[in-house]
Amino acid sequence: MKDHHCNQERKREIVVFPENELLPANATIDDVSIEFQSAADERTARQILQTITKIDVGPQSQLFVAPGSTLVIYFEVTNLRNEPTYHNFNVQDEKRYLEQMEPRFLWLMPNQRESVRVTILVPQGSELGSKDKITFTSQSVVQAQQSVMVTVSSTGVVDSWQPRIWYTYNTRCDWRWNCVGGTWSIEVVARDYETGLLSMRSTPEGLVLRSPFVAGTNEEVTATYSASCCEPRVTITAYDLNRNQRTLQLNVDD
């Protein structure tokens, strides 16, 4: 990690991607390149992704737990680099509910996604409504982090409403005669007013968060997706803590 006073220099360096460059913890797209929106070069978009390890909270994770019981949280780690990378995992919490993490390290091939299971035990007598923030870190060529907020609750969760999701285009492809060399991008916002947002992901991969969020937040979560104009389609899905999901299907050519 570099000093703040050479921030501009760091941004330039990262765009050309020297082999050993390290991004700071919680690296987001703003750290990688602020020139992203104006870059009409698909290589730039690809290179940004190559710096990134993405972590999603698996939709099967439960973040409400009764006193005296255990729960499992699934952190899905995806290697978006073009080369195999070794990942060391670490997990911390505020209330010492952590029981187990499996596995503790992994090799991931390009675009490979694997789940890390984190088990917590909430002691008998824990106060209802109290919360434990759990922070999962993957240390590799870059460091990535995702936090979740677990709530102690003896009753079931009431939330049958899907998350909201909306988007705006930053750049489109319609002025181009052919797709080669062109890039399009959108900004996507998701929000869940009830139990809170668990994760937001895309197919193909490539959704990059504007800033980290704690799974379970009721605030807006913003991300950017960018692809070559030769790959005009994307599906983006947002999940809430009660497994409700909303899917957005886009075709930039429409």
Residue ranges that bind Ca ion, judged by CB under 5 A: 159, 161, 192, 194, 240, 244
Provide, rounded to whole angstroms, the least separation between the CB of residue 172 and Ca ion.
31
| CB of 48 closer than 8 Å to CB of 82 | no
Distance of CA 5 to CAs 9, 12, 159, 197, Å? 9, 14, 46, 35
CB closer to Ca ion, 226 vs 237: 237
* 160 versus 251: smaller Cβ distance to Ca ion: 160
Tell me whether residue 56 or residue 240 sits nearer to Ca ion (CB atom): 240
Q: Which is nearer to Ca ion, 11 or 243 (CB)?
A: 243
What does the alpha-carbon distance between residue 152 and residue 224 come to, in Å, rounded to a whole number? 33
47 vs 250: CA distance, rounded Å: 23
* Residues 117, 70 contacting (CB under 8 angstroms): no
Which of residues 93 and 159 has its CB atom nearest to Ca ion in the complex? Answer: 159
Q: Closest approach of Cβ 216 to Ca ion, in Å?
A: 11
User: How near is the Cβ of 194 to Ca ion at its closest, in Å?
Assistant: 4
Dist CA 209 CA 188 (whole Å): 9
Q: How far is CA 218 from CA 13, 45, 62, 181, 232, in A?
A: 35, 29, 16, 38, 31
Our CB check for Ca ion shows the closer of 11 and 246 to be: 246
Least gap, CB of 196 to Ca ion (angstroms): 8
Residue 230: CA count within 13 A, CB half-sphere: 7
For the bound state, the minimum distance from the C-beta of residue 239 to Ca ion, rounded and expressed in Å, comes to: 9
Output the CA torsion sign for 29, 32, 34, 36. negative
Residues 205, 28, 54, 93: is their CA dihedral positive or negative? negative
Closest distance to Ca ion from the beta carbon of 245 (Å): 9
Residue 240: CB minimum distance to Ca ion, A: 4
CB nearer to Ca ion: give 111 or 247: 247
Q: What are the structure tokens assigned to 53, written together?
A: 């390890």
